[in-house]
Structure 1
């Protein structure tokens, strides 16, 4: 995947319109986590919900940097999103997710990205296992969905892979949509980015993907067939991820020192 130069202006989808904010962007480096809102595609814009501000951001998941890079030119970015997901027959507003990654120039001048971490929690699927009101009334019939990092990301181009774990009292822990091959998203901008704050930097954006395909759930034991019929999987069309997000960032020289000396140790480049 790509690697990046931190000192140039951000990509078009994150460049603010005012000259003062452009100056902030130039000093701070390319505002790249909004790269998940990759541009050049139109879509209906919608108002982003109020998300946690930079003051509430936790930089504890900032990854270790590759060897021989300049920590003053690498940023750790913390990104909180409130996704809405339609896959197959199911439409849910997912619980907020938080993703952390680092980016900056490699020693050879190419662009680098290092994955940090993703945190999420389950969201109940209305109707539970049977897909009927009884599923909401009986706890044992409950069914929930939880997004997990799928092992691939490119925040410059808006590419992201996720798996979706299905949970419930009767559902095996291994039951997952995209267990063997994750769901691949190519996010596109659905509205302009907005700077909420310049110091600390806080940017909001919205993105979407309506062209991804969803595989069948796997490793669900005897519930595999019934669950896939219940959820309408696999689904090759009619799927939608709407993605409202807020993010902030710090360069590595602004981060407090850690015991593992994270500014010097190598990390895993994001794919």
Structure 2
């Protein structure tokens, strides 16, 4: 089942929800495969606000993220193309001048089912004046579950709002951080179990 089909399944009435926290930006829509028919594809932009807990860090607001991907059919089969994940840096409490931001780690699958909303691999990039460039966690595999019903913001263009959670995350230790890496892991309590919750607005555009 496609992302949109599952998102709209079960909607019996138009439920107006608050406007999204930021403007939708389709500049990261990916190029389609050479054999793709643009009429059978659409670009989707998700503007999300999320919160994560891990190790010694609880309920850290991650600010606004923008995820862009395309989905359609290729040779008669469902297919996807990833665009970009853009995230703002978030200050880490108790670590002056140090921030974290989520980055795409090379895998995503947004075909929804009754068991999940989608899956993605992320890294948590950690930036600070005493840390080496490239300091980050090893990949975090997240499988997002729907948390409540989908709301319709608008039907022209179609804009939806929904919430997701992942309470089975593992937040691994960092790598590439330099001599302070072990101290950073100790301060953050890594590796550890983690939980993630997210509210997303999604808008679609044809190619």
Q: Normalising by the residue count of structure 2, what TM-score does the alignment of the two structures yield? A: 0.89
Q: Which residue of 2 aligns with 1:229?
A: 186
Summarize the Cα distance change of 1:49–1:93 in structure 2 as closer, same or farther, 3 Å threshold. farther
Cα distance in 1, alignment partners of residues 82 and 36 from structure 2: 16
Match of 2:115 in 1: none
Measure, in 2, the Cα distance between the counterparts of 1:57 and 1:80. Answer: 7
User: Which position in structure 1 is the counterpart of 2:97?
Assistant: 142
Distance 2:177 2:53 in 1: 21
Whether the aligned pair in 2 keeps the contact of 1:16 and 1:195 (CA below 8 Å) is no
Instruction: Please give the secondary structure, in 2, of the residue aligned with 1:98.
Output: strand
Could you tell me which runs of 5 or more consecutive residues in structure 1 were left unpaired when the two chains were aligned. 22-47, 129-140, 253-271
Q: 2:20 aligns with which of 39, 43, 51?
A: 51
Q: Cα distance, 1:51 vs. partner?
A: 2.4
- Is residue 5–residue 105 contact of structure 1 (8 Å, CA) maintained in 2? no
CA distance in 1, matches of 2:51, 2:174: 19
Q: CA RMSD in A?
A: 2.1
Q: Does 1:65 align with 2:32?
A: yes
- The corresponding residue for 1:197 is 154
2:185 counterpart of 1:217: no
For 1:176, the equivalent position in structure 2 comes to 136
Assess, with a 3 A threshold, how the Cα gap between structure 1 residues 154 and 116 changes in structure 2: closer, same or farther. same
Q: Contact 1:164/1:177 (CA < 8 Å) preserved in 2?
A: yes
- Match for residue 95 of structure 1? 63
Runs of 4+ in 1 over 3 A off after TM superposition: none
Offset at residue 5 of structure 1 (A): 6.9
Unaligned 5+ runs, structure 2: 113-117
**Structure 1 residue corresponding to 2:5, chosen from 10, 25, 34:** 10
The C-alpha deviation readout for 1:23-80, integer Å capped at 9, x for no partner, is xxxxxxxxxxxxxxxxxxxxxxxxx985246xx3211111111122221120000111
Task: Give the secondary structure class of the aligned counterpart of 1:229.
Answer: helix
**Offset of 1:82 from its aligned partner?**
0.4
Distance 2:142 2:180 in 1: 27
Structure with higher strand content: 2
Tell me the equivalent position of 2:119. Answer: 159
Larger Rg: 1
**1:99, distance to aligned residue in structure 2 (A):** 0.9
Aligned to 2:53: 86
